Chains A and B, each alone.
Chain A
Amino acid sequence: MSNSGSLCAEMAAALVSGKLKCVDLTNTLSPDFPVIVLPAEFGQCAPFRVETVSRYDDNGPAWYWNNISMNEHTGTHFDAPAHWVTGRDLPSNTVDAVPVSDFVAPAVVVDISAEAAADADFVLTRAFLEDWETRNGKIPPRHWVALRTDWYKRVGTPDYLNLKKDGAHSPGPDAGAMEFLVHERDCIGLAVETVGTDAGQGSHFNPPMPAHSILHGNGRYGLQCLTNLDKLPTFGAMIVAAPLKIQGGSASPLRVFALYDAE
């Protein structure tokens, strides 16, 4: 029986014909992928690790499998509201409880790659976003706001974490921008290529860590360590980001990809 009139069928046909393109937004989960570095007296984020159980050897002659370990925030990952103290009392605030409908959401790409290249400490402000809207159009509700910084091109170099003696240096939003995106544009979350949604110097902002604080305090999500945001159109992409269903989890590494019209 055909149901060619359905939205799913239309989407399936577009995927098969190539009219819908698919792009991977995920960095490879590898032992040397950098994790966020906190001051040494705090607990640290465990990097990704692999221990082979067997690889067609005496421990398992016909099969290959590994034990893996990592932090919830290792590699490309999804932050749930419970990650931050501001979101600790919200309902459905852990990755196992986030509504599954939020795992597929449209994205608007805000390109700050030129600004970030000129200034690693570039701060995204409300004024910048308002100006951006006059040039590109209004940010629609329930969208991921994807910050294209081209930071993913720095992966594998010291410039990705960009950790200097006075801390990390990478672009991010201030509190005004976050209040605007959350309360006036109702974003579903902030999606970034850097190691965290906040700027490298975000702990010195006032209030500190505004992206974490305001996103999660209002039940919104974070996507970090993405790649390929430069491949997406400004409007019209759909991000699929489904974290592992970790009981009570604050976040999860995941495979993130986007769909967008080929033309």
Chain B
Amino acid sequence: MSNPLSPPKRKDPLTPSRLGHVPPRLRSRAAKAMAVRAGQGRFVLQVCEGCSEATYPPRDRCPHCWGELRWADQPQTAVLLAETVVRATTDNFFREHLPWRIGTVQLDAGPTAVAHLHGDVAIGDQVRMRLVLDRGGNPALFALPLKETPHMQDDPQLRVFTSAPKHRRILVTDGRTRLGQDVAQALLAAGAGTVFLGNSDPLLRHDGEEWIASTPNIDMVPLDLTDSRSVSELAGTLGGRVDIIVNTAGYVRPGGVSSGSRLATLQTAMDINAFGLLRLAQSFGPALGARSDDGVNSAAAFVDINSIYAMTGNAGFAGFAASAAARLSLVAGLRGEMASVGIRVASVLCGPIDDAWHQAVPPPKVATSRVAQAVVQVLQDGLEQVCVGDVAEDLAARWQQDPFLTIREENL
């Protein structure tokens, strides 16, 4: 079993914070391709189209026959062959986390590989492999016990590769909505220390106020993503105490491009969906980046809940989809910047959410509680992108096969 994490002590003001070093970034296209799939929670290896051998680490050609390689999902099982403990290193990040256990695993998929080890695995054990991202966004293999062990998530080596909510202080940006409240509830259930729940208009009542007031460890805070001063003031107040941000804010209205749309409505959508994210990133990003290796409740992640139509546009919600596309693009840029300081940036992509603005949209619609579960999963597994619900999963699958066809399908 892993030792359960204790809530972090308050910091000694005379001790400097540990800088969040990150490993150097891999430059090869193959390694980046593996990172993308790791960020989606897939377990993939390259398989040769000629000799069908799976290979690891990522390469440009098959090491056996020089054939073309393609990515394929693989069985996650393996056996731990050997282990060693690293006690000295020149790597700035791992120097702060020594000793560090690594080992060699025999993957059922074929190759042997060097992997980071969970504390509950021993030589000869069958293990469950996970493809993880390190704090710099590089892919790596991690060997977990085959079956869940007590406090498994609290393993210190595993926690380095995840953004697990336990004991962390999390800002959820829109607490006036069902979505924000469901996300807050799911995070608290996953062990979050405190959830700061944003309220864009503290003078106007909203649904769920009683639940928020009666729930321990939720602090309602003033936060209006359309107001730069509001965002920077909250960052000034809380910046050093927020470990994870989950941006649940969103503004959806139906409308076309040439007809049935209102520019003022689209401006509001852009202001909340795209500029709101920008304001959050600008105000909170530096403080997150400065605390990415700051103990049990180090700053860890920025999660953005967005629409899957960011990838294609959407007839009937064209302006909203455009704002979602802008938002997704900003998230991509933010991911690069935050990877250099050790913060994971993730998108949770949804189809139509079952809310008042999708009354005319036929089912299936995704429940806000399901989106909340996806947020927890993204944090616990250290992911970068998940699609939630039937619509989003279906669209993502079609997009992966043929992006331009999918764009056409969604618009005419």
Contact = CB atoms under 8 A, between A and B. Distances in A.
Interface in A225-253: none
Nearest to B222: A32
B203 A49 contact: no
Interface stretch (A91-99, A105-113, A154-162, A201-209): A154-162
B380 interface: no
A166 interface: no
B262 A31 contact: no
Nearest to A30: B229
**Chain B contact residues (Cβ within 8 angstroms of A): what range?**
10 to 19
A89 B229 CA distance: 41
Contacts of B262: 43
Given A31-B227, A49-B226, A52-B228, A43 B203 contact: no
The residue among B203, B264, B265, B268 with the most chain A CB atoms within 10 A of its own CB is B203
Contacts of B204: 37, 158, 161, 163
A31 B264 contact: no
A160 B203 contact: yes
A161 B227 CA distance: 20
B205 A31 contact: no
Contacts of B356: 40
Interface string B2-28: 000000000000000000000000000
A157 to B, nearest CB: 7
B205 A163 contact: yes
A250 to B, nearest CB: 14
A13 interface: no
Question: On chain A, which size bracket covers the interface?
Answer: 10 to 19
B228 A51 contact: yes
A44 interface: yes
Contacts of B205: 158, 163
Given A31-B224, A31-B227, A49-B227, A158 B265 contact: no
A43 B229 CA distance: 24
Given A31-B227, A49-B226, A44 B268 contact: yes
Contact of A50 (B224, B229, B264, B268): B229
Interface of A: 31-32, 34, 37, 40, 43-44, 46-47, 49-52, 156-158, 160-161, 163
